[in-house]
Structure 1
Amino acid sequence: MSSAPSDRAGVARPGPVVAGGAEVRVQDLTWRPFGRSRAVLAGLDLVVQPGERVLLAGPSGSGKSTLLRAVAGLLLTADSGELSGSVTVGGHAPQEVPGEVGLVLQDPGAGVVASSIERDVAFGLENVSLPREQMRPRAEAALREVGLTMSPDSSPTTLSGGESQRLALAGALAMEPSVLLLDEPTAMLDATTAAEVRGVVAAVAARRGLTLVVVEHRLEGWLDLVDRLVVLDAAGSVVADGEPRQVLAEQGQALAVQGIWVPGVPDPEPLSMALEPVPGATAGTVDRGRVVAGATGLRVEHRSRRLGQRSRTTLAADGADLEARAGRTLALVGPSGAGKSSLMAALGGLLPPARGAVEVALPLTPAEAGGGGPARERLTPPHEWSSHDLARVVAWVPQRAATALVGRTVRDDVLTTPRALGQDRVVAERRADALLSALGLAHLADADPRQLSGGEQRRLAMASAVAHGPALVLADEPTVGQDRLTWAAVSGVLAAAREEGAAVVVTTHDPGVVDDADRVVHVTAPVQPAPDPEPERRPLLARVGPLALLAAAFCVLPLPGLLDTWRQGLVVLAAEVALGLVGLLAPGHGRAPQGRLRGVLTRLAPAALAVAGVAWSAWLLGGRDLEVASAAALRVLCLIVPSAVVFGFIEPEALGDHLAQRLRLPARPVVAATAALQRLQAFDALWGELMATRRVRGIRADRGAVARAREAVVVTGGLLVGALGQASALALAMDARGFAEARRRTWAGPAPWRLPDTVALGAGLLVVAVAVAARLLLP
């Protein structure tokens, strides 16, 4: 093949397209989401020819992502609403041929379905019943095609943003689709990584002759790689369609006015606005140009642990020095995965540093701000402040804007922190309404914030962050997913916060935001410590298959009916503890695994409430007899202990393999349960994000058992809402790879039954035998 020409970014341009894709035909498509009075798409007509490469643009909220989901046949998978019209791919309904349409979501991490990159790529191949022996070569070929060269066993959680995009692309390409749909694939990537991703997409589409539809706000970089530009207006109607350069030459100025990022048109000026002063606000407390918050020698670490694996420590920042000054904007820039977000969060007291110090200007500390605390609080680092004290000073716009939502309505969300801080109600409401109006959200004031689009949620998070006049505003990628008009609004709010005296810190890949900053700091990824060359020994339970572990735990289900007295329960519990301790042993050569017993005790902690509740009830109803209460508590404990021991060693993916292949259970519920268990492992991270949000919004319960219990209930509800959001994104990603139409399924992983499995099952039966013997021999 002759070498292809290069574009200005140095990315190889594809040669002539060999039409091998499928035709996409959209006729009179109308979609109105549940709870919205206006349709997102109204009577849309669009035809994409086989092998055509289309760039789809439009202002924020114009229905671009909605159109992609409709073409993929997934509009009703995770959303509810009124749908009419028709969409065909290759002359038939989408998803009629599993894998014919590949959809890569804007957040590629939301669609990860496996614990290794090879298994994740193979997920779609399982859905189309490809024989196992053909899966590995196909998955490895897809990984090579997108340039992922690390070990196939690598965890998706270790990938950078650009690598995650490549993994999602490999998962779609492995199924050999005819149509490839990409939703803002470079929105959160640095310029170098974005150019690499564009090059991969263009080369693969040309080599395979795919029909390609790419959604992007920023057109530059894609224009030389596509054949056609289609632009939607705010109402979801096509207002421009044709050869990209010609469309921009003829309609560029008009499109820019509508909010399209037209190359060559200067960036808009930030929206000019003045925020009404709030009595008691901390913005402006520190003289302009003086340090609001400073960090020296900052080291930030992240620790994570997956079921059955040792904890993993990632170094996010090391030896960093940073200063945020009043009335100034500091921009943190650098490649994806460099640790910008972690550094910013540590500066604002949202993360405790592993080493180094963070100091806040004295007028902002709790002791100096009238909090009534002792003078030593001047030296207290912000990560130890109370929720109320932190919220007075710090505001945070997280990268995942959905985790920042705490109100029942959009307006209620903006007013949450002013109310928590006891600010003047009338002034707070006027300021909130002004912010919503400036950010184009006034018409959504009474809407549920969780029903907003991603760009709208990000703007809402911005409004809620500055509503109370904080002294330090932390904004993580605040302009992602914004068109020209909403970009100007977001930039205007940041400028307004700066003008009222706040120190503004942003992480960004946006050159317009960088140009507007007073100071720019380039952040580079710290060198990770070398892994210990000595392998870690595996506990005996880690060598047992998941089905045997599950069966051993289920063996104890008859125990409540076998045990009558506390003496019998104590004997059985002793046997369970002894067998559990044996299972936690890790014989062999290498390092001893850490946290085995601590993990079991952690899993037992929630069960302690159930045991105490049963004991209390039995004591009250049993004539306040301690023996009756003890026996009831021990019965419950004997039922729970085996599960607490083995659960930490059941890997969801392997469990799904065994349930489907060994027990012949239906594939769909097995895969759904496996995906749910994998998401369960991420609940601790989501819980942490929700609690951090409540803390910085001033509504976290810092004291009082009753208040904390009430908060736990509220956060649990938020956790479930967040889990449902994650489940919706995961369902989209799974169905985009053929899961919805998979009637028969093959499995990439084997499901062997080995000697340790038999031993583990025997241990479970031994516990039952001990219970029978105790019932016969002990009173």
Structure 2
Amino acid sequence: MAQPGAGARGGVGTVDGTARVKGGHVTLKGVTWRPFGRREPVLRDVSFSLVPGERVLLVGPSGSGKSTLLRAVAGLLETADAGELSGSVAIDGHGPGARAGEIGLVLQEPGAGVVASSVGRDVAFGLENVGMPRADMPPAITAAVAAVGLSMPLDTPTGALSGGETQRLALAGALALAPSVLLLDEPTAMLDPGHAAQVRASVEGALAAYPITTVVVEHVLGPWVELVDRMLVLDADGALVADGPVGDVLVGERQRLLDMGIWVPGAPPPDPLASGAVVARPPNRRTQEVAATSLSIDRTTRLLDGSTRTHTAARLDRELEPTAGTATALVGPSGSGKSTVLLGFAGALEPAEGSIDAAGAPVSELSSRELATHVGWVPQWSSSTIIGRTVLDEVLVASHALGDESAERVVEAHALLTTLGLSHLAGADPRELSGGEQRRLAIASAILHQPPLLLADEPTVGQDRHTWAAVVGLLDAYRAGGGAVLVSTHDAALIERSDHVVELTPPPKAPRPPEPRRVLAGRAGPLALMLGALVAIPAGIIPDHWHTSLLVLAVQVVLACLALSAPGAGARPTGRLRRVVLRLLPGVLGGLSVGWSTWLLGGHDTTTAFTAALRVLIIVLPSAVLLPLVDPDRLGDHLAQRLRMPARPVVALAAALQRVHTFGAVWSEISLARRVRGLGLDARRPVAMVRDLATVTFGLLVRTLRMAADLAVAMDARGFASASRRTWFATAPWHLADTLVVLGALVPIAAALLL
């Protein structure tokens, strides 16, 4: 297999056709970082130097600042986070990131690093930033994707990938650059052993092709020991306490590492900590079990044009009834549907075949309060479902939603935080915690209100020995107290402790459905579509009477029907009218509002009011038809290549618009996090419903800002900030369809002028 980075001039890892053939020299002097809102620094006076080509394993207990240190090396600490930074970082004598593509960073939560709407475009993003010629990109992308074991077509939407697949995509994007410094933040944490070995092999192959200076953060050290030369150890206070050849550190510092909670190779898993926090209070409702028949669950991916693609994400070939006092482990390779099954038990996904019932009713049909009394949920990515203002607030969310605001619950919440090593962070913003800390917080939040069934997706990922023992001890105690535990995990020690193991296999991939016929307007480029929407503004302003406005609107309706028609061979696209109507609803409400205010303030003149309302509809209708067909990636291509707009704002705009298409999924995540904790929308209480909608909307805003910050880090990690000469993976042609869309958009203006 061709490795990323292999090849002649212009191959992966080149800038302006000149191959990079050596790793970077990394120097840190006295780096200290204290985020605003934290009393103590996360990193304390860290200094070290890495020679070119050196391979380093960075270890430390959960929350010791390992991910923060990687961002410091990449020069990205202040890209998205605010805090006090002192000390210096240099790569080959200059500031990090001074040359585009010299540093590759795989983030701890790789989904945050997706910058494009399809797999191929996402891997190409870094290559564009380093100025690779367009002709050299396809083989480089193919090699990088193959090296990490992604077998899907390159036009697969990035939103359709599982967590493990997204992690491998992030690694492919970094390896494609063949950077001089490669930073990997737990690259195999969410993968099954087979895929994890494949990722390590791809890293080893890349390092064999290019002597890249590499820093790997992992909690489980054993599989990486043979690939690295040196080990750096951070303690719980973020200080560097050990540094040396990996073998020497493992032998000479063995007991110290074990005492710190490091997963030293060869050491057996620790004994789970006994925990009496909360679990000694088994409620009566624990007899209400949630059970599933054999089932099939589909997942639907929304494409950029508003259409959807549905595929079978999980199959369960047996009944699954987690009973009180037992732990059941869902196992299987990445992409086998483990998280999907848990989402089904959480009421987020309704099975296409079979059923998941609680107390005789489908779990998906339970009210929010009923759902919260049945299940607690620990999501795969714990950062995606944070609700509370502080860590303590987050733990108490479900209890308060169920009407339990007693002082006793607060005491138990503090006990849980102490058990999980989070008591010192009770007043901190939960969004600023490390990944491992957020996962433990999610467990505490799901357990405090004592549901009969705890659903935990990879609960031990990102944990050191001490926090692993605390998490597993808490799960054991919860089970001993009468709770049922259903976990998705690759953790062999956790699987061994389970009462039942259910193995899932990836559903057989159905033949890819034939591409539906493209609507006529969808065959045009983004500039023509946007121009077609913009020229509706004068078409709405010109008419001075409702008769004229109504005729112009009728012309637009005819043109919209023509634009959405899909002649030709192949499957007919579905749902076109429904999607346009849904998008028009805000415009209709706006038109009614304008008409009403015009009537009220204009002497109750119905003619003027009706004309004003029709003007709004004329302006809005083309946008509802055309703008959803705009592909953000293609928009960036066209703005930069045809209009010669500066690359940085154009690419940033395209990446931001690509994120807009994920807002529906983000809204669903936030809604599920609230619903499964008793805070779902209640249509029977209008005032409460409006308040809850406002809260979810605010949560979406907060998540959007966090996503924007993570996106900035991900883009800059692939050379965006320092790109001096950018190339483009795709062309930006102007076709006959573009001209026809623009001419068609001018017809309503001509009609308005003639009438």
Q: TM-score, normalised by structure 2?
A: 0.94
Are 1:96 and 2:98 matched, yes or no? yes
Deviation at 1:609, TM superposition (A): 2.6
* Match of residue 311 from structure 2: 314
2:746 is the counterpart of 1:770: no
Q: Is the Cα contact below 8 Å between 1:98 and 1:741 reproduced in 2?
A: yes
The residue that corresponds to 1:5 in the other structure is: none
Determine whether 1:529 maps to 2:527.
Answer: no
- Residue 107 of structure 1 corresponds to 109
CA contact (8 A) 2:99 2:723 kept: no
Query: Once the 2 structures are TM-superposed, how far is the Cα of residue 562 of structure 1 from its aligned partner?
Result: 1.4
- Partner residue of 1:293? 290
1:260 maps to 2:262:
yes
- Which residue identity does 1:638 align to in structure 2? I
The one-letter code sitting in structure 2 at the alignment partner of 1:470 is: P
Give the aligned partner of residue 550 of structure 1: 530
Are the aligned partners of 1:540 and 1:584 in contact in 2 as well (CA < 8 Å)? yes
- Whether contact under 8 Å (2:285, 2:373) holds in the other structure is no
**3-state SS, counterpart of residue 557 of structure 1:** helix
CA distance in 1, matches of 2:650, 2:196: 37
Moved more, 601-610 or 212-221: 601-610
Partner of 1:467: 448
Deviations 1:368-415 (A, max 9, x none): xxxxxxxxxxx3222111111111121101111123311111111111
Contact 1:418–1:467 (8 Å) recurs in 2: yes
Point out the more displaced range, 484-493 or 685-694.
Answer: 484-493
Q: Which amino acid aligns with 2:711?
A: L
Q: Which moved more, 1:488-497 or 1:89-98?
A: 488-497
User: Per-residue deviation at 1:624?
Assistant: 3.1
Equivalent position to 2:547, from 556, 560, 567? 567
Q: Does 1:349 align with 2:351?
A: no
Q: 1:759 aligns with which of 717, 740, 749?
A: 740
* Counterpart Cα distance in 2 of 1:644 and 1:564: 24
Task: Pick the aligned partner of 2:50 from 40, 45, 48.
Answer: 48
The CA distance in 2 between the partners of 1:211 and 1:233, in whole Å, is 23
Look up the match of 1:497: 478
Q: Which moved more, 1:381-390 or 1:269-278?
A: 269-278
Q: Relative to structure 1, is the Cα distance of residues 455 and 280 closer, same or farther in structure 2, using a 3 angstrom cutoff?
A: closer
Residue 396 of structure 2 is matched in structure 1 by 415
Q: Which residue of 2 aligns with 1:659?
A: 639
Q: Could you tell me which of 357, 361, 374 is aligned with 1:359? A: 357
Aligned counterparts of 1:423 and 1:141: Cα–Cα separation in 2: 56
Code of the residue aligned with 1:425 in structure 2: it is: S
Q: Is the Cα–Cα contact under 8 Å of residues 397 and 404 in structure 1 kept in the other structure? A: no
Q: Find the counterpart in structure 1 of residue 608 from structure 2.
A: 628
Residues 309-458 of structure 1 correspond to what in structure 2 (within 5 A)?
310-320=307-317, 321-360=319-358, 365=359, 379-423=360-404, 425-458=406-439
Which consecutive unaligned segments of at least 5 residues does structure 2 have? 2-19
User: Does 2:574 correspond to 1:594?
Assistant: yes
Judge conservation of contact 1:278–1:469 (CA < 8 Å) in 2.
no
Structure 2 counterpart of 1:371 = none
Q: Is the 8 A contact 1:332 1:522 kept in 2?
A: yes
Matching residue of 1:247: 249
1:152-195 alpha-carbon deviations (Å, 9 max, x no partner)? 33433444555434432332233331111101000011111111
Distance in 1 (alpha carbons) for counterparts of 2:325 and 2:151 = 45
Q: Is the 8 A contact 1:110 1:729 kept in 2?
A: yes
The answer to whether structure 1 residue 698 and structure 2 residue 700 are counterparts is no
Looking at structure 2, the residues matched to 529 and 580 of structure 1 have their Cα atoms a distance apart, in angstroms, of 34
Partner of 2:198 in structure 1? Answer: 196
CA 147–297 in structure 1, closer or farther in 2 if over 3 Å, else same: closer
Offset, 1:595: 1.4
Provide Cα deviations, 1:415-463, integer angstroms capped at 9, x if missing partner: 1211111225122111111111111111111111112111111111111
User: How far 1:149 sits from its partner (Å)?
Assistant: 5.2
- The Cα of 1:309 is off from its aligned counterpart by 6.1
Query: In terms of mean alpha carbon deviation, does 607-616 or 575-584 score higher?
Result: 607-616
Q: Deviations over 1:588-642 (max 9, x none)?
A: 1111111111221121123333222222222221233333322221111111000
**What SS is found at the alignment partner of 2:31?**
strand
- Identify the residue that residue 129 of structure 1 maps to in structure 2: 131
Check whether the contact 1:220–1:263 (CA below 8 A) recurs between aligned residues: yes
Contact in 2 for aligned 1:278/1:424 (Cα 8 Å)? no
Q: CA deviation at 1:150?
A: 4.7
Q: Contact 2:157 / 2:303 at 8 angstroms: preserved in 1? A: no
Q: C-alpha displacement at 1:53, in angstroms?
A: 0.7
1:373 maps to: none
One-letter amino acid of the counterpart of residue 247, structure 1: V
Q: Percent identity?
A: 53
Question: 1:645 Cα deviation (Å)?
Answer: 0.3
Q: 2:184 aligns with which of 182, 185, 190?
A: 182
Match of 1:20 in 2: 22
Tell me if structure 1 keeps the 8 A contact 2:315–2:504: no
3-state SS in 2 of match to 1:614: helix
CA contact (8 A) 2:549 2:615 kept: yes
Q: What residue ranges of structure 1 are gaps of 5+ in the alignment?
A: 2-17, 287-291, 366-378, 775-779
Amino acid at match of 2:372: A
8 Å contact from structure 2 (residues 277, 419) kept in 1: no
CA 19–629 in structure 1, closer or farther in 2 if over 3 Å, else same: closer
Change (3 A) 1:172 1:318: closer
Match 1:678 to one of 658, 662, 670 = 658
> Which one is further off, 471-480 or 605-614?
605-614
> Would the aligned equivalents of 2:475 and 2:485 in 1 still touch at CA under 8 Å?
yes
Contact 1:333 1:509 in 2 (8 A): yes
Change (3 A) 1:324 1:446: same
What is the alpha-carbon distance in structure 2 between the residues aligned to residue 157 and residue 412 of structure 1?
31
Counting only pairs closer than 5 Å after superposition, residues 638-653 of structure 1 correspond to structure 2 as 638-653=618-633
In structure 2, the partner of 1:15 is none
**Rounded Cα–Cα distance in structure 1 between residues aligned with 2:495 and 2:281:** 31
| Matches of 1:317 and 1:358, distance apart in 2 | 14
CA distance in 2, matches of 1:280, 1:323: 19
Displacement, 1:652? 0.8
State the Cα distance separating 1:243 from its structure 2 match: 2.0
Equivalent in the alignment of 1:7: none
| Matched residue SS, 1:239 | strand
Distance of aligned partners of 1:528 and 1:132 in 2 relative to their CA distance in 1, 3 Å threshold = closer
Aligned pairs, number = 735
CA distance in 2 between counterparts of 1:699 and 1:191 reads 37
What SS is found at the alignment partner of 1:323?
A: coil
Distance across 2 between alignment mates of 1:52 and 1:161: 30
User: Take 1:202 and 1:472, find their aligned partners in 2: how far apart are those partners?
Assistant: 42
| Structure 1 residue corresponding to 2:222, chosen from 220, 223, 232 | 220
Letter in 2 for 1:467: L
Equivalence for 1:4: none
Hey, what's the Cα distance between the residues in 1 that align with 2:50 and 2:21? 12
Q: Give CA-to-partner distance per residue, 1:508-529, whole Å, 9 cap, x none.
A: 1111211221111111112233
Structure 2 counterpart SS, 1:221: helix
Q: Which moved more, 1:190-199 or 1:735-744?
A: 735-744
Indicate yes or no: 2:71 matched with 1:78: no
Q: Distance in 1 between matches of 2:355 and 2:142?
A: 45
- The yes-or-no answer on 1:511 pairing with 2:492 is yes
**In 2, Cα distance between equivalents of 1:280 and 1:492:** 17
- Structure-2 residue corresponding to 1:231: 233
Distance 1:513 1:312 in 2: 35
**In the alignment, does 2:469 pair up with 1:488?**
yes
1:240 shift after superposition: 1.9
Amino acid at match of 1:133: A
Residue aligning to 1:746: 727
Q: Among residues 731, 747, 753, which one is paired with 2:712 in the alignment?
A: 731
